[in-house]
Structure 1
Amino acid sequence: MNIILTQINGIPIRRNFVENLPYNPHLKKLLSGKRQAGILSEVLFWTQVRAKTFHNIDFDRQRIIGNYIVDFYVKTLGLIIEIDGSSHDEKEVYDGIRQTYLESLNLKIFRITDFDVKNNLALVMKELEAFIIENYRC
């Protein structure tokens, strides 16, 4: 049975809650530092999605999953949003291992670039809508 979470452009979106995700409590002390760092692209994206302002979908910022901290997480979809900036340069192997692990938990990952968030946020939000429709439509 599909439980409808929301609608995007009139298309029903099904809930896809992934239960019992692993959590490393030792990473918790890193969260406040990451949030206080105020990375511009993350702040810009957060202003678009906080407080259920994006199609009434609840986003978490800086969520611990296993041994990783993801930029944004939508519990009700099992969806991770990653903003890739210069910190991801030269880290293709690490990012690949991380992505494989997160996908093994039945999570989906939507990647956007720091540049796109800063320079074309409206397009980023349209691409996120399209990704959600493609992966979670009823």
Structure 2
Amino acid sequence: MKAKHNKLDPQLLIFAKSMRQTATDAENLMWQLLRNKRFMNLKFRRQHVIAPYIVDFFCHEIGLVIELDGSQHGTDDAIEYDAERTQFLEALGLKVVRYWNHEVLGRTDVVLEDLWSVCNELKSTSP
């Protein structure tokens, strides 16, 4: 018997695909570093749907969501929205990390070092 999958909203999938095609410079750089298991041999997906949201990067194996934020995430409304979104994702048992676009572009080594320690910790605690 096949597992029953909840059908995702096709509009959400179309939007995720369009987001992959209009990625920011920071997202493109991060994707080059994460794709094809280049980072710690972990498989990441980009612009992945976890309804009702689309997350920037997702690693199913260790339950990690990576969000890259531009300056628009600094407004009060965005801070509140991001907090609700993080709370929702964490309630699913996922770990959410956020990096600013300018950090990814300007301090890539620092971001990757932090990400390495997060992934290492999750790998050691995941079954």
Bin the TM-score by the shorter chain: 0.7 to 0.9
Q: CA RMSD in A?
A: 1.8
Give the Cα–Cα distance (whole angstroms) in 2 for the partners of residues 22 and 136 of structure 1. Answer: 30
- Give the strand-richer structure, 1 or 2: 1
**1:133 lines up with 2:120 in the alignment:** yes
Q: CA deviation at 1:131?
A: 1.1
Please, what TM-score do these two structures have when normalized by structure 1?
Answer: 0.79
Query: Do the aligned residues in 2 keep the contact of 1:22 with 1:65 (CA within 8 Å)?
Result: no
Q: Secondary structure at the match of 1:137?
A: helix
Q: Secondary structure at the match of 2:40?
A: coil
Please, what TM-score do these two structures have when normalized by structure 2?
Answer: 0.85
Moved more, 53-62 or 25-34: 25-34
Superposed CA offset, 1:23-81 (max 9, x none): 44430111222111131000001111110111111000000001100000001111100
User: Which residue in the other structure is 1:45 paired with?
Assistant: 30
Give the Cα–Cα distance (whole angstroms) in 2 for the partners of residues 38 and 25 of structure 1. Answer: 20
User: Which residue in the other structure is 2:83 paired with?
Assistant: 96
Higher relative contact order (CA 8 A, sep 6+): 1
Flag structure 1 segments of 5+ consecutive residues without an equivalent.
Answer: 1-19
Give the Cα–Cα distance (whole angstroms) in 1 for the partners of residues 122 and 21 of structure 2. Answer: 32
Paired positions, count: 119
Percent identity over paired residues? 34
Flag structure 2 segments of 5+ consecutive residues without an equivalent.
Answer: none
Which of 69, 72, 84 is the matching residue for 2:57? 72
Q: CA deviation at 1:122?
A: 1.3
Give the Cα–Cα distance (whole angstroms) in 1 for the partners of residues 19 and 13 of structure 2. Answer: 10
Q: CA deviation at 1:136?
A: 3.2
User: Which residue in the other structure is 1:54 paired with?
Assistant: 39
- Give the helix-richer structure, 1 or 2: 2
